[in-house]
Structure 1
Amino acid sequence: EILERAVAAVAYAKRYVEDVQFYAEDAGRTDNEYLARVVEAVIKAGATVINIPDTTGYCLPSEFGAKIKYLFDHVDGIDKVIIATHCHNDLGMATANTVSGIINGARQAEVTINGIGERAGNTALEEVVMTFRSHKELGIDTDINATRITGISRMVSSLMNMPVQPNKAIVGRNAFAHSSGIHQDGVLKNRESYEIIDPKDVGIDENSIVLTARSGRAALKHRLHVLGCELSSGELDKAYEAFLQLADRKKEINDDDVLMIAGQHRKASSRIKLDFLQVTSGIKVHSVASVGLDIAGEKFEACASGNGPVDAALSAIKNIIHRKMLLKEFLIQAINKGSNDVGKVHMTVEHEGVSYYGFSANTDIVAASAEAFIDAINKFVR
């Protein structure tokens, strides 16, 4: 009866459209011989795409790959259609099953951004794309522009209000983060030591060297270099000793901590300093900011309105610093208990194709945002 209904459904659809896809629901748990009979029948009825779903996420990768291969070996006319996969992640094997299916002949994969989907989710697009991009010996590529992956991942996460787990492959914020001293030293010497994917290939500017108590001298030296601070060998040794003492008390060391350790007080020695900031904001009114900057001892003032107090403050600063700047990333770090309500702001500002990082901490989040913006600007304005 199912065979008859499958054929009738495909024949009916074929009266109206040329391209007909047939889904063999729960094919993952279906006997291969019976599945082959159904597939052969719907191909004869006119189906052009045959989808083999692992609806319950039950299959092992070897089992799912063998199922696809069995169809290619036992179904007449299968060379005339496209075999597709649709795998669920109930046992955490959706990507592995999809990859196995493609290796065994499937040429269409149904996937989702970030692996979102019913129950435990579906196959993650980014994982399949980068698996084949990393294993060039397989001779398979999706031709997808992978540099858009990270941006699209964040957009989907934001629009659906579904945070991506930090350790998620490819798009998790820790996917390219290194905290082990040995790993950090290896990555700094040769990225491929501990990274099979260049972060830039998926739209991330660089790998993340996270400074913790497990970090070595190489990681501290690298962060100091990024911050524009070069130390002699002896100075680095002293700085590293102080770094380890602080790292024992703090889970993660930020840029201001590093500069303090090195005896560099960035704000005091910066060319551009925030002299004053006044912001007016409210409901159903435009936010307006007045900013005063001290640039190498000379005073400048400007006003601007914006979509909220932070936007107004940054716009006022832009009215003084006449450079083409693009705010690429703006992050307010979560405040931990006992931090005296200090808000930490991280920014990435692009100028002439180069990204510069700014950081500040303040009890006033608008002031912290303005200071972080100025911190980034100080790195390219001389």
Structure 2
Amino acid sequence: CHVFLATSPIHRAAKLKMSTNEVLSTAVRSVEYAASLFDDVEFSAEDAFRTEPEFLADVLEAAADAGARTLNVPDTVGYATPQEVRDRFAVLAARIKQRHPHVIFSTHCHDDLGMAVANSLAAVQGGARQVEGAINGIGERAGNCSIEEVIMALKVREDLYGVTTGADSRHLVRASKILCEITETVIARNKSVVGINAFAHEAGIHQHGMLADSRTYEIMRPQDVGFEGSWFVLGKHSGRHAIAKRAETIGRPIEGERLAAVVAGFKRRADQIGEINDAELIAIIDQVDGVSEVVAQYA
């Protein structure tokens, strides 16, 4: 059972019209009642990061005394910064875990300033062991913490955070797509982890590095989040290596002067239409080969 009550001055005055003592007693009474009915109770101090630090600690400790097993410290309006979050969790944990060593601290961040994921990860560093978020970052206003980004950050940088999750990350892309269909929304192509461009490469130097070793430009495997693999976007920034590789893949290998001519034609066409698909590439190769044949006839 999840019980929450606002604790910040603005919420106490404008919304609840309650004093600090009234908020404290209401939190205790609510958690005690919930604990009489449920084995597991979570208490959230809404708008925690605009709450006076000492009063916030008093409310959370009182909730733990009343039977809350999980203490949630939410950045309800996306106001906090990573350093603030890390420090606040560390201070709260140091105080409350002395009497309640088994209590779990939880973080719940909103993205109003674009820091929900960073703040959630900072909370983990400060001692949080539960992260509340949403696939695709959906939620009130600018949304909640994108849970898929947190999962992969903890997985890729386990050396830094030193924790793991029980999430099977191979289902993240599928979950994202299902949610897009249900909510009838579209995420940005360059959305971290699950965006269609998350493992796409267009720049020539990037494609060249990927051909040599995918680790040059990918810090996680696309298969780890549910994509089939990486792919190259052939466009104006692509280099001759990627063009030649794609031509070979579609059964039209090119090299030498022929490759140089195809690359020149490719660049001209890419300036006109942007991305070059396989049909366009074949047409460019055919055009180069056609010109070569004519030149050969009159040589």
**TM-score strictly above 0.5:** yes
> Which residue of 1 is the match for residue 121 of structure 2?
99
Correspondences of 1:233-248 after superposition (within 5 Å):
233-248=256-271
Deviating more after overlay: 88-97 vs 77-86: 77-86
Aligned counterparts of 2:187 and 2:165: Cα–Cα separation in 1: 23
Is contact 1:49–1:82 with CA below 8 Å preserved after alignment?
A: yes
> Which residue of 1 is the match for residue 69 of structure 2?
48
- Work out which of the residue numbers 72, 76, 101 in structure 2 matches 1:79: 101
Aligned counterparts of 1:233 and 1:36: Cα–Cα separation in 2: 71
- Work out which of the residue numbers 125, 139, 156 in structure 2 matches 1:117: 139
Is contact 2:85–2:126 with CA below 8 Å preserved after alignment?
A: no
Q: Are residues 1:231 and 2:242 paired?
A: no
Aligned counterparts of 1:136 and 1:226: Cα–Cα separation in 2: 36
Deviation at 1:232, TM superposition (A): 3.2
Q: State the secondary structure of the residue aligned to 2:273.
A: coil
Q: Deviations over 1:342-377 (max 9, x none)?
A: xxxxxxxxxxxxxxxxxxxxxxxxxxxxxxxxxxxx
Aligned counterparts of 2:212 and 2:120: Cα–Cα separation in 1: 35
Q: Deviations over 1:90-147 (max 9, x none)?
A: 0000000111111211111111010000100000111001101110213211131111
> Which residue of 1 is the match for residue 155 of structure 2?
133
- Moved beyond 6 Å, runs of 4+: none
- Work out which of the residue numbers 49, 54, 60 in structure 2 matches 1:39: 60
Q: Which amino acid aligns with 2:262?
A: A
Q: Are residues 1:166 and 2:189 paired?
A: yes
> Which residue of 2 is the match for residue 353 of structure 1?
none
- Work out which of the residue numbers 28, 31, 41 in structure 2 matches 1:7: 28
Q: More helix by proportion, 1 or 2?
A: 2
Aligned counterparts of 2:85 and 2:177: Cα–Cα separation in 1: 31
> Which residue of 2 is the match for residue 354 of structure 1?
none
Q: Which amino acid aligns with 1:188?
A: L
Q: Are residues 1:19 and 2:56 paired?
A: no
Aligned counterparts of 2:245 and 2:37: Cα–Cα separation in 1: 63
Aligned counterparts of 2:125 and 2:245: Cα–Cα separation in 1: 41
Aligned counterparts of 1:25 and 1:247: Cα–Cα separation in 2: 52
TM-score (norm 2): 0.85
Aligned length: 264
Is contact 2:244–2:255 with CA below 8 Å preserved after alignment?
A: no
Aligned counterparts of 1:141 and 1:228: Cα–Cα separation in 2: 44
Q: More strand by proportion, 1 or 2?
A: 1
Aligned counterparts of 1:31 and 1:104: Cα–Cα separation in 2: 18
> Which residue of 2 is the match for residue 66 of structure 1?
87
Q: Percent identity?
A: 41
Q: Which amino acid aligns with 2:60?
A: V
Correspondences of 1:266-305 after superposition (within 5 Å):
none
Q: Are residues 1:185 and 2:208 paired?
A: yes
TM-score (norm 1): 0.67
Deviation at 1:226, TM superposition (A): 2.6
Deviation at 1:32, TM superposition (A): 1.6
